[in-house]
Structure 1
Amino acid sequence: MDALRFLQLDVFCDQPGGGNPLGVVFGAHHWSAQAMQRFATWTNLVETTFVLPPSLDGASYRLRIFTPHREIAFAGHPSVGSACAVLHEGVAEARDGLLHQQCDAGVLPLRVSGTGREVVLAVQAPAAQVLRTGLDADPGLAGLLDGIRLGPLPPAFVEGGRRWWLAEFADEHALRGWHPDHAAIAALAHASDSLGLCVFARSDDPAFGLVVRAFPAGVGIVEDPASGAANGLIGAYLAQAEPEGPLASGYHVSQGREIGRDARMSVDIDGDGTIWVGGRSHVVVSGTLDWPSAVDA
């Protein structure tokens, strides 16, 4: 049996209980991918990560990210939460205000501001590209959004670390009260090899500029309480479509209230279009993990 460090965090929230849970394992350098997947399936968290020594120059650490079903190249909330765990455990220190995370999407910088319980981290989202736009971009999209009054931007299929369908609602209230066809979202996700559908609406609330809901049926999740990668793609889409718009330099996001959470994220957009998605994380559980890593079945 291996005695390893295990932390569980709540990511993208001002107070524990409002964000997206994450499990982080330290010391599993010798585990196989099958053993990591087996443990991630057992935790049944949206994602579980494994912090490993870096193998590329300039990286602070290496991260492998698993859903309960498969390994993924990148995700926002595991990146931000794992960076918080790395700082908590003293595995790496920020240099010039940055950590550098090695993952299957490359070496991605994370901005670090504040210290201790007040630390705020933001991950640089992978470069994004809009693959298709319009209600006719996929046969299943129009039916899924039938009856919804859409916002000024057309629905879009966007890729950048992850692939998501995005749709803007014209009204925040309609978005918060929407009851989507989850089977239709799953069919759309599997047909397009994407995570699923992420919908957003502009808000007049002074605390946040966008309200977001994400339905990653492609990885078996009904609704996500806080979606870093999806919010990065929304930011990239807004920056490309409305370079002079009111949200073009960044904004705050509210997500998760519809499922009993209250996640808060910041999306910062640099002048060159680089997207940073960030927020606070909280270590909720810190302890020792005993797990039979030799059993890969």
Structure 2
Amino acid sequence: MSIRYKQLDVFAARHGGGNPLGVVVDAQGWSDARMQRFAHWTNLVETTFLLPPEAAGADYRARIFTPSKEIPFAGHPTIGSAHAALDAGRVRPNADGIVWQECGAGVLPIRVEGDGPDRELFVQAPKARVVRDAGCGGETLSAVLYGVHLGALPPVCVEGGRRWWVAEFADEAALRAWHPDHAAIRALALATDTLGLCVFARSPGGLAVRAFPAGVGIVEDPASGAANGLIAAYVALHDTSGTLSRGYVVSQGREVGHDARIIIRIEGTDVWVGGRTNTIVDGVVDWRDA
């Protein structure tokens, strides 16, 4: 049976600039093994599968798969799944402009602003907390950041939906020109049970960000919603009255040929991560069990 399928460009400042995502819109009846096999075949960083909700209050359910396993939460699959559900007519925003998406991290509110190609979606990021300081990274973290002129905020490990090491560079140009030791980042990720390292630097428009999720075998991620939510929570904790305290715009991915634009809004202790999604492929998938 042919089933609706979309391939999306999430958090893109221009077409092709964001993070690609595959979405199977009608996955009801698909087994876990079938979803995993399809996600392996697409070979995208993540593929999601939309299902009827199971939790009270949810409008629909999204399951998120990498090519090798299911994960509970990630930023661009969450935003992209909501975009696909809205485009397919599976959901409509409530009177407050919210749709409720169920995933492995719970039932999350997604704010819908605008319509059509100018629509922007924002997910309220899971609450984040600092779980380790730089000392816990030991010599492995020191090796990764050797020679880097760090910024005002010290490196820490932050957890909230995902777990990342984050570090601030003192200079945007140095951040963009950095050639990290990917083997050392992988060693750090495996030793500390994290995705890897996300680095950022202050820029005239907000933050420039680079993410290296070596713990899951990815060299560099072009657009990282969950990681940017963690950075925002860390920044908000320490920059309560500065230029970033109410939110900012993230530039990410230029170093790997992309151009992502991620919007951060900080409302008290709440962090919202969002941006625009483009539908690149809209069709059907004919996927049969072996």
Q: Counterpart in 2 of 1:163?
A: 163
Shift of 1:13: 1.1
Other structure's SS at 2:82 match? helix
1:148-200 residue CA offsets vs partner (Å, 9 max, x unmatched)? 00001000100000000001000000000001111111111111111110000
Other structure's SS at 1:291 match? coil
CA contact (8 A) 2:25 2:84 kept: no
Other structure's SS at 1:221 match? coil
Q: 1:213 aligns with which of 199, 210, 215?
A: 210
For the residues of structure 2 that align with 1:209 and 1:220, how far apart are their CA atoms? Answer: 28
Q: Counterpart in 2 of 1:110?
A: 110
CA contact (8 A) 1:136 1:142 kept: no
Q: Which runs of 5+ in 2 are unaligned?
A: none
Shift of 1:241: 2.0
Q: How does 1:36-55 map to 2 (within 5 A)?
A: 36-55=35-54
Q: How does 1:1-297 map to 2 (within 5 A)?
A: 2-95=1-94, 96-134=96-134, 137-204=137-204, 208-271=205-268, 273-292=269-288, 294-295=289-290
Amino acid in the other structure paired with 1:53: P
1:208-257 residue CA offsets vs partner (Å, 9 max, x unmatched)? 21000001111111100000000000000011122222211110000000
Indicate the percent of aligned positions where both proteins have the same amino acid: 62
Amino acid in the other structure paired with 1:285: V
Other structure's SS at 1:90 match? coil
Other structure's SS at 1:31 match? coil
CA contact (8 A) 1:130 1:157 kept: yes
For the residues of structure 2 that align with 1:3 and 1:213, how far apart are their CA atoms? Answer: 38
Other structure's SS at 2:139 match? coil
Other structure's SS at 1:187 match? helix
Shift of 1:110: 0.6
Amino acid in the other structure paired with 1:90: G
Amino acid in the other structure paired with 1:284: I
1:74-119 residue CA offsets vs partner (Å, 9 max, x unmatched)? 0000011111111110010011200111001000001100011111
1:31-59 residue CA offsets vs partner (Å, 9 max, x unmatched)? 11121111111101111000000011111
Task: Give the TM-score, by structure 1 length.
Answer: 0.95
Aligned-residue CA RMSD in angstroms?
Answer: 1.0
Q: Which runs of 5+ in 1 are unaligned?
A: none
Shift of 1:138: 3.4
Q: Which runs of 4+ in 1 moved over 6 A?
A: none
CA contact (8 A) 2:23 2:47 kept: yes
For the residues of structure 2 that align with 1:172 and 1:14, how far apart are their CA atoms? Answer: 19
Amino acid in the other structure paired with 2:72: A
For the residues of structure 1 that align with 2:69 and 2:47, how far apart are their CA atoms? Answer: 11
For the residues of structure 2 that align with 1:283 and 1:259, how far apart are their CA atoms? Answer: 21
CA contact (8 A) 2:10 2:80 kept: yes
Matched positions, count: 289
Other structure's SS at 2:286 match? strand
CA contact (8 A) 1:135 1:155 kept: no
